[in-house]
Structure 1
Amino acid sequence: MKNKKTKLPESFRPLLWSYKFSEINPKEHKRVIIVNVLNYGDLKQWRWLIKTYGRKEIKEFIESTPASEFRKPVLILLSLLLGIKKLKYASRSDYIRAKKSIQ
C-alpha cells in the first residue's frame, strides 16, 4: 500500500454497504475493498485504488484471487488495462474460508 494513512472516501460507502463502513481499514481489508470497487465502482473509485495500492499490487492481487470473485466484464477490462494474462481458477468457497471476515 502506497499511502499508509489513507482513509476510505465516503463515495465507497454504497459499494461496501454490507460492512460496517467506519471499521473498514484500507490496509487490513484490502481484499474486500479491491473486489467491491473493481466490480461495482466507477472510474474515479478505480483511480483511488491505483493511487492507494498501485497498479502492480492490484495486478498481483487479481492474479492471485479466484476469477469467480470478479464479474466477467470487469475481468475482461482489467486484463486489457493491466495486461493480465493468467487468472486463478479455484473453488471460491475454499478461498473465502481461508480469508478473515470483517463482519
Structure 2
Amino acid sequence: MIIDHPLLGPRDSSEFTYMGDAALIDRPDPEAEDAAQAFYEYAYLRDNPAGWHRELWFHEAGDRSWLVVTRNTLTHEISNVELARDVARSRGRSA
C-alpha cells in the first residue's frame, strides 16, 4: 500500500505505523461534568468499520509526522491524506 505523504510524496506503508481511529484527535474536555465517562469512551470504545474510515498513521521510519489517512478498510484504497496537525487546527484544537 502506498501512502501519498502531503510533504514527502508517495511512501510505502511499511514506513508508517497505524495508530487508530482519527477521532482520537478530538480528546474529551477534562473539565467537563461527564469527563470520566467521556474519557472511558475515548480510551476503550472503538468502531471497526468495513469501508471508508479516517485513520491516524505515524511516519515512524521517516519525518515522524502524524497523518490522517482516509482509507477503505475492505480494498485499502486511499482517497485522502492530510497532516494531522492541519486537521486538529481546522477543528480548533492545538496540535
Give the TM-score normalised by the residue count of structure 2: 0.29
TM-score of the two chains, using structure 1 as the length reference: 0.28
Task: Decide which structure has greater strand share.
Answer: 2
Q: Which has the larger radius of gyration?
A: 2
Greater percentage in helix: 1
